[in-house]
Chains A and B, each alone.
Chain A
């Protein structure tokens, strides 16, 4: 008897500690299958452009397609030798909008000076104007004595413009893949590789230029960050093209995520108990971390599946382990059962995968 106790107590402790490490949640209602996000679709009626102080003093073309616009000009900061240098704040009285050819003044409405922008939260020395060009080609110019090498951001928002840039890109890129489908259109016009510059922004703030063949983005080297735990990767597209002889500029930024399949599940086994149905689900992690499995228990009756209950269980997994899904359904002795609508979440890296339904085997 003593020997039996010696065997049982460690075994019970192991079971207890295995369960204690799990976080279990029983959903009130049966959960339907989640649809995996495959694409990002975004539209833009705006663009941004970085200019130098010299360019702003000499006058630089500003592409406007609608008189309902807001032009915000903001000093940028640069980082050199461990120090941040900020460009001079802008004086709205010195800003002019001129006809590109004749250099005659065009109508410009001062929308917000430095103080008004500051009150609105744009505490960066920026100003905002509205350019009324009536279709004429315009240049933006300042009489202010800016430093030649300082950088400024011009951000043009055209609310009612008919020139809308649309982007469609794949949301998930497998880490082993070198390309990302990426399509740009402006109205009916497809944007080719010569009309766009693409920049990749990594989750940690790095930026590199990307190459584009008009259909997909090509990556020269593997992307290191996987999952979305530190934010998404982003592609920034800066489009400049001609529509009926007039320059149209648009910018857009879209997210995507770089993924790996970091865990696989095995065949679940049903351990029936009096008032519960413990389903044991093997899981193997390629990368150690915390994993969650959400699954719905379903009964197969005459070829038809009936969903019964949804449970989610999470646990830290180093390599190989089993998750215990404590379904409360009763009378599970007869019939066939499956786990359906399975969702595996790598909570450490923020990656979701959706394995196919699996049949539960009985022990």
Chain B
């Protein structure tokens, strides 16, 4: 009898695994997106990532207003709505969330505050893992630079949006307080209930003679060299490595796995550069 139960139990487990319907959601960073597929990620990146799924149609690209605080209904509320619709429409049972930059914070908000919204528990229970590309888990000194001293400053629009609530939120001391009280996954805090694996961008390569500098747009690479003046020697031009690695675990730091051991700038960590989408595709 005991053997029969064991066999049945194992069979049930295998059935449930075999019939798991896996899906992927790509979640953008700061900014208000209406066509993140083309404008934020590019089709090349998205399609290569989706090829890692048993059914490559089981993906969604999120378009929300991440210029708001992470708890705002236009940010995490919008994300919850789009994820719930995706889960229901495709009958997803195992979800991998792929985030970039501040998208990692919005996802951590949902995972850390499960009763904030009645849609959160189902999303959390369906989420298998988070792959966080250059997450701004510890904020960025650039947000402090934007906010500091100037009430009407309109700077770093392409990276941060304009002095929005999301920019204020990503100041280093503000993120420190959110991490201490509201978000899980950082040292000394409760762990997240699923893996939160970060990909770390450690440098910006903008040598004009180096073709790799042109992946993601050469002008952006030069720009990130300027922003590095506010950052540590290990940074992706927008975030210090210490911020990117603060929550969850580090999956890899760019040069350890990218083609040609190229660094991933903050722009490149969401683009089809140096085999990144294939690495993700093999991981989901």
Contact = CB atoms under 8 A, between A and B. Distances in A.
Interface string A33-52: 01111001010000011100
Chain A interface size band reads 35 or more
B31 to A, nearest CB: 12
B177 A171 contact: yes
B229 A111 contact: yes
B144 interface: yes
Interface string B107-130: 000000111111011001000000
B223 interface: yes
A25 B120 contact: yes
Contact of B223 (A76, A121, A228): A121
Interface string A348-362: 001010000000000
A120 B227 contact: yes
Contacts of A31: 190
Contacts of B151: 76-77, 205, 207
Interface string B55-71: 00000000000000101
Contacts, number: 140
A347 interface: yes
B79 interface: no
Contacts of B152: 76-79, 84, 86
B155 to A, nearest CB: 4
B115 A25 contact: yes
A288 interface: no
A254 interface: yes
B36 interface: no
Contacts of B43: none
A157 B121 contact: no
A78 B151 CA distance: 9
Interface in A282-313: 292, 312-313
Contacts of B116: 292, 314, 347
Contacts of A350: 71, 182
Interface string B13-38: 00000000000000000000000000
B149 A32 contact: no
A254 B173 contact: yes
Nearest to A85: B152
Contacts of A128: 226, 229
A155 B174 contact: no
B55 to A, nearest CB: 27
A326 B187 CA distance: 30
B158 interface: yes
Contacts of A312: 114-115
Closest 6 CB pairs of A and B: A48-B149, A314-B115, A77-B152, A120-B226, A25-B114, A121-B156
Interface of A: 23-25, 27-29, 31-32, 34-37, 40, 42, 48-50, 70, 74, 76-79, 84, 86, 111-112, 116-117, 119-124, 126, 128, 153, 155, 157, 171, 205, 207, 228-229, 231-232, 236, 251, 253-255, 257, 292, 312-314, 345, 347, 350, 352
24 contacts: A24-B115, A37-B177, A37-B180, A40-B173, A48-B150, A74-B150, A74-B153, A117-B226, A120-B156, A120-B222, A121-B223, A121-B227, A122-B155, A123-B155, A124-B153, A153-B150, A157-B230, A171-B177, A207-B151, A229-B71, A253-B173, A255-B173, A312-B114, A350-B71
